[in-house]
Each structure stands twice: as C-alpha cells, then as structure tokens.
A and B are shown apart, each in its own frame.
Chain A
C-alpha cells in the first residue's frame, strides 16, 4: 500500500500534509486510546476517510489494565486511568493488522514501555514486520502507570530512549508523544528532536484527580488519572505553539496537535498555532464521525479564507509583539 493521496477535485483546497515519510490525505487523525484497534468504530464512521489512524497503546505483553472505576466525567472533560489495557504485540500483529491493512490509511502504532528495551523491541518488530504500520508513536507520557512517567518528564532519559529506538527503527516515522506535565514542554520537545524524533505529538492528558467526597477517596481505582476533553484545549493550543515557535519550526519537525478538539474550529486553532496535523480523542466517544466533520469544516474555512492548501495556515498565527500584549506574561 503506498498511501499516495489522491489530488482533490478542482477548486477544492488541498488538505494533504506530510508527517515524516507519511503523506496524509488530510490532517485529521485519531488519538491513541480513543479508537481501539479500529474495528470497534467500523459501524459508526468511515475510517478510510481519516488522515491517519493511531492505535491504542500496544505493549510487548498483554495488559489487563486497572481496576474499575477507570473513568469519571468532569466539567467539559473526562478523567481516565485505563492502565494501558491491551492485547499485546503478538495478538495485535496476528489479529488486528489484517483489518488495519484493509483501511487504506497510514497506521501509527502507539508504543508504551517501562524500560528502553520494551519500547525498542516493539518498535523494531513493527518496523520490520508490518508494512501497513507507517509510524511509531512513543508513549512516554501515559500518566496512569506508575513507572512510565519519568521518560516523558525527564529530558535526559527521554533523549536516551529516543536515541535507542531511533537506532532500531529505519522505515517508520518516529513520533514522540509529549507529556504536558512539565514546567516547560519546549525542553522535552527539544530533547526528543535532537535525539532523532521525526515528529512530535502533543499533548497527552494532564495528571488530575477527582474526589468522591462521600467516601473520602479518589473516584478512580488508580487514584489519579489523565484529564482530556475541551477542558484542556486552551492549554494544549498554547503548548503546541510553544513547541512550534521554540523547537519545531527551526528543526522543520512536524507537530501533531491534540487536546480537547471537538470541532473544525478547534482544529484550525491548533493548525494556526503550528500543528501540521491534529488528532481527535475524547470527542470520538461522543461522535466517531467527528474527524470527517472536521475535514468538511476545514475545507470550507480554507475556501472562505482563499487558501489553496492547508499548509498555508500551519503556524500562520500572528502573535502580538513582545511587551505589547500586556497581561501577566
């Protein structure tokens, strides 16, 4: 499968974008963990219209995940602690890859880990064995397992991890999914890029907690979880812009922006802030067809703005000059 995007009909804006060596027909993807292995949504939307599909995290061995409760709705958001429940690499290759091959869009596999070897082994096998897998997204920031966080918040360890995986992955685009649970996300972004990442995706969920006041304990069985949904969107847009302006633009590294995207206008915010592509996550739980609706809205927006190509608006944000905006910066 070559995944060459068909040219758009005459007059329609071109939505295709490039992420590393992947050419996407449009910049709208799914976010890991919100779309399973794809077959779950087959009745509800046409997945072949996606720009790319990102699987849930696939670990070396199967994982049961956390005890219940695993989710709780918050104001305009969702707190989750699933615990990387997944069928493991062997079953994924055997059972899920054939379905993903039929989909006809680039597939990106999210890879979690606890030690560098966990990541590198899984990434290498996917790189060698599954042509349909075009990208590897390193999950260095899943906050729901106790030992996985340090890669995403420690720039030195992150650089070691990315460099080690880079040596084992040659064909796939190497994406690092950044944690927002840091003081300055540009620091970890720079570390990942200098260690060899082809692309960055941001942001993962924010570590958060909901308290059951009657029982006097956290609502989630895991205690803490990751917050997603519209509640986090403005912070995510800021972080994408921060990484774009401080790291990505200079290094020509594409960004996948995500965090609370619910509509085409949310997606446009991320694109203007510097994202080359966007991923829809929690919103898929409400409407699996949202990515298609975002593409329609994006097309209309570009037409209205007389843009021939989505690339024209990437990072096109006009920022106020230093000192003129006032405020509390």
Chain B
C-alpha cells in the first residue's frame, strides 16, 4: 500500500519506515507477579522508536487470526507460562461445570488500548534483503477487557498494533544523572529508558513503586542487596541492575522496600543527596496522575527538570479523536490550552502541565 502519499515525503528521503499498523506475533506472555504480565511481540519492519513512545494494541480472545497458525513448540512458551497447556476441568456433583458469563460482548474490547514500550530488541534479518525483526515487550496489569484478552494469549497468537506513537522522553545532551521514577504500570517505559541511558553511558538511579509486594512487577533476585527499606540505592532490581543502575523500591503498604509512595523514596533520596542539581540531573517519571503530580512538585522544589509521561482515556492514539487532553501552559504563555497525550505527548515537561 502507498502510505502517506500526500504529506509524508520525509520517509522516502531518510529511509525510515513510516509509522503504521503491524502484526505482532506473541513470543512470550510471562506472568511477573499478581495481575501483571510481560508480553513479547515479534514485529517485522517496525520503525525506530524512543523510550516513552507507545503502541496501540488490538487483539481477539485467543489472538484469533484468519491465517493458519503453525504449531508452536512448547519450549517457546515463556518461563512461568503455565497456561500454555489446555486447562483440565475438574468437577463434581457439588461443583458442576458452570459457563460463568453469558454476556459475551461485554468481554470484547472495541477500540485499541495504548501500552508503553518496555523493551525493544532488534535483530537483523538472515539475508541482507530481509526486513529487520524487532521484539517489543510491553508490561500490563489485568484491569479490563483488553488486558483480560491479552492475559489469554499464547505464543504464536497474533495481535494488531499501531505504532510507534507519541513523543518519547528527551535525553538532554548535558545529562549526567537521570532519576527514573516509575509507579505501578508506569514502570515499563522506565525500563526502556534505562537501557537507552546505559547505551549512552549516562548514570541513573531508579525509583520503583507498587501498591504491595505481590503487585511489584520487577525481579528482586534472592541474593539482591538488602535491606530495602532505606533510601539507599542498590543493585537490587534485576531489570535496572543489568544496566548498572541502582534502585530504590517502595510500596504503599510497606510490604516491600520503603513504606509509602515512590515519591517518598524520591524525596528521602534527594534529602540525602544535597549536591544533585538541575544543571546535570533530570527526573523522568511515569505512573498514576497523583504520583506524577507529586514527583513534579518535588523536582520543582529542587529546581530539577522533570519529564512526565501522561495518560488520559484515548480512542485513537493518533491525534484525531481529541480525547486525551492535558491542560498545558508553558512559562510565558498568557493562556492555557489543551494538548493531546497521544500526539503532543505522552511525555511533557512537568513544569508546562496544569495539574488536576
């Protein structure tokens, strides 16, 4: 198909494939902790992306595709994917089998849903003329129709995805220290960012928060440095430690790491690190809205630049439906205006946002 015939001439010049719709083949769908999974999708010819960018996913229950699916060897299922085998139902007269929900249409998503890219791995094709194969990881928590569908996907299933969408984090040339603040389902873009910072040799400290220990989606190896309940960064979280990045963990109920929101950890850390200043340090943040608002306030107090990745309910992800509005007013602008989380963001300078 001829894409972007009318407006997009740049692609033809710089050779980058345009954003578009792609088919992702599920390679793994690994349970991380209670309600959280990491989905690995293999995509052919996916354009370059940056941390903070996202994809819009559409999937049928079972990852339905009209094309014939090759049987997938059991070994390709990700570790922890015990659901790769058909379930054997046990029933008794006292507990007969029950078809639980006859409201089938309620289980079907209609629109796509946005997911931040958590990791990206590129492999060159075998032959020089073959398209590059990219593995994209997303992390999701099962909260609604689409994520319940995703939870059921097996290796070999297909999903449709649009992307890469939005504008990601900007790594300033002067950056000497990055503070990565991720809360709950806001953690995934921080993993992608951590990797990109490591590639550039920029040191970082990660702050990862969750509601409870059993909802913490990252790996804390048994031998990881402890204790975790002080604002001291250590190589405790595997996903950050593999990039040489230390981290501080917090949970709302104190069941893992520091007690309180991840912003408590950030505040305590900054109180100890007096020499950190805005000339060389930037805060990068993604998480629930109140958490990002609090992070922005902490960063502002220490005069640290802060980039936040915002989310609002969106229908399209491409900038047309005008749903995901953010109140925006950079310094010097006489009046506030709306910006779109999907197309103008999701990443904004925290100082430009009028927080709800």
Residues of A within 8 A of B (CB): 33-36, 38-48, 56, 64-65, 67-78, 80, 82, 85, 99, 102-104, 229-230, 282, 284-289, 292
B349 within 8 A of A: no
Interface centre among A77, A85, A102, A285 (most CB of B within 10 A): A285
In the complex, the answer to whether A44 meets B338 with C-beta atoms within 8 Å is no
In the complex, the answer to whether B6 meets A80 with C-beta atoms within 8 Å is no
In the complex, the answer to whether B7 meets A77 with C-beta atoms within 8 Å is no
In the complex, the answer to whether A47 meets B5 with C-beta atoms within 8 Å is yes
B271 within 8 A of A: no
Q: Which of B21, B109, B320, B338 contacts A73 (CB 8 A)?
A: B109
The smallest C-beta distance from A99 to any residue of chain B, in angstroms, reads: 6
The smallest C-beta distance from B138 to any residue of chain A, in angstroms, reads: 18
Which residues from chain B contact A104 at a C-beta distance below 8 Å?
6
Q: List 19 A-B contacts (CB under 8 A).
A: A35-B320, A42-B4, A42-B8, A43-B19, A44-B20, A46-B3, A47-B6, A56-B322, A68-B313, A69-B313, A69-B323, A71-B313, A71-B323, A75-B105, A102-B7, A104-B6, A285-B315, A286-B58, A286-B111
Which residues from chain A contact B323 at a C-beta distance below 8 Å?
68-71, 80, 82
B112 within 8 A of A: yes
In the complex, the answer to whether B322 meets A70 with C-beta atoms within 8 Å is yes
In the complex, the answer to whether A46 meets B325 with C-beta atoms within 8 Å is no
B33 within 8 A of A: no
Q: How far apart are the CA atoms of A282 and B323 in the complex, in Å?
A: 13
The smallest C-beta distance from A1 to any residue of chain B, in angstroms, reads: 12
In the complex, the answer to whether B1 meets A46 with C-beta atoms within 8 Å is yes
B106 within 8 A of A: yes
Encode contact with A along B1-37: 1 for CB under 8 Å, 0 otherwise.
1111111100100000011110000000000000000
B312 within 8 A of A: yes
The smallest C-beta distance from A234 to any residue of chain B, in angstroms, reads: 15
Q: How far apart are the CA atoms of A287 and B337 in the complex, in Å?
A: 28
In the complex, the answer to whether B5 meets A46 with C-beta atoms within 8 Å is yes
In the complex, the answer to whether B8 meets A43 with C-beta atoms within 8 Å is yes
Which residues from chain A contact B8 at a C-beta distance below 8 Å?
42-43
Are A75 and B106 also in contact (CB < 8 A) when A43-B19, A46-B4 are? yes
In the complex, the answer to whether A43 meets B4 with C-beta atoms within 8 Å is yes
In the complex formed, the residue of B with least CB distance to A36 is B320
Which residues from chain B contact A85 at a C-beta distance below 8 Å?
322, 325, 338
B343 within 8 A of A: yes
Which residues from chain A contact B316 at a C-beta distance below 8 Å?
284-285
Are A78 and B6 also in contact (CB < 8 A) when A43-B19, A70-B325 are? no
Residues of B within 8 A of A (CB): 1-8, 11, 18-21, 58, 105-106, 108-112, 160, 162, 312-316, 318-325, 337-338, 343
Interface centre among B6, B7, B337 (most CB of A within 10 A): B6
In the complex, the answer to whether B106 meets A80 with C-beta atoms within 8 Å is no
Are A43 and B18 also in contact (CB < 8 A) when A69-B312, A71-B314, A99-B6 are? yes
In the complex, the answer to whether B7 meets A39 with C-beta atoms within 8 Å is yes
In the complex formed, the residue of A with least CB distance to B319 is A40
In the complex, the answer to whether A44 meets B312 with C-beta atoms within 8 Å is no
In the complex, the answer to whether B7 meets A99 with C-beta atoms within 8 Å is yes
Which residues from chain B contact A68 at a C-beta distance below 8 Å?
312-313, 323-325
In the complex, the answer to whether A64 meets B3 with C-beta atoms within 8 Å is no
Q: Which of A71, A99, A288, A292 contacts B318 (CB 8 A)?
A: A288
Q: How far apart are the CA atoms of A80 and B337 in the complex, in Å?
A: 20
8 new A-B pairs (CB below 8 Å) besides A39-B7, A42-B8, A103-B6? A56-B320, A68-B325, A80-B323, A82-B321, A229-B110, A285-B111, A285-B321, A287-B160
Q: How far apart are the CA atoms of A53 and B5 in the complex, in Å?
A: 15
Which residues from chain A contact B21 at a C-beta distance below 8 Å?
44, 287-289
Interface centre among B2, B8, B315, B318 (most CB of A within 10 A): B315
Q: How far apart are the CA atoms of A42 and B316 in the complex, in Å?
A: 14
Interface centre among B18, B21, B105 (most CB of A within 10 A): B21
Q: 4 shortest A-B CB distances, which residue pairs?
A: A42-B7, A285-B316, A36-B320, A71-B323
In the complex formed, the residue of B with least CB distance to A102 is B6
In the complex, the answer to whether A65 meets B111 with C-beta atoms within 8 Å is no
Which residues from chain A contact B18 at a C-beta distance below 8 Å?
43-44
Are A289 and B320 also in contact (CB < 8 A) when A68-B313, A78-B111 are? no
Which residues from chain B contact A71 at a C-beta distance below 8 Å?
313-315, 321, 323
Which residues from chain B contact A38 at a C-beta distance below 8 Å?
6-7
Interface centre among B2, B21, B321, B324 (most CB of A within 10 A): B321
Q: How far apart are the CA atoms of A38 and B318 in the complex, in Å?
A: 11
Q: How far apart are the CA atoms of A163 and B312 in the complex, in Å?
A: 41
In the complex formed, the residue of A with least CB distance to B109 is A73
Which residues from chain A contact B343 at a C-beta distance below 8 Å?
40
Which residues from chain B contact A35 at a C-beta distance below 8 Å?
320
Q: How far apart are the CA atoms of A150 and B237 in the complex, in Å?
A: 60
Which residues from chain A contact B314 at a C-beta distance below 8 Å?
71
Which residues from chain B contact A42 at a C-beta distance below 8 Å?
4, 6-8
Which residues from chain B contact A292 at a C-beta distance below 8 Å?
1
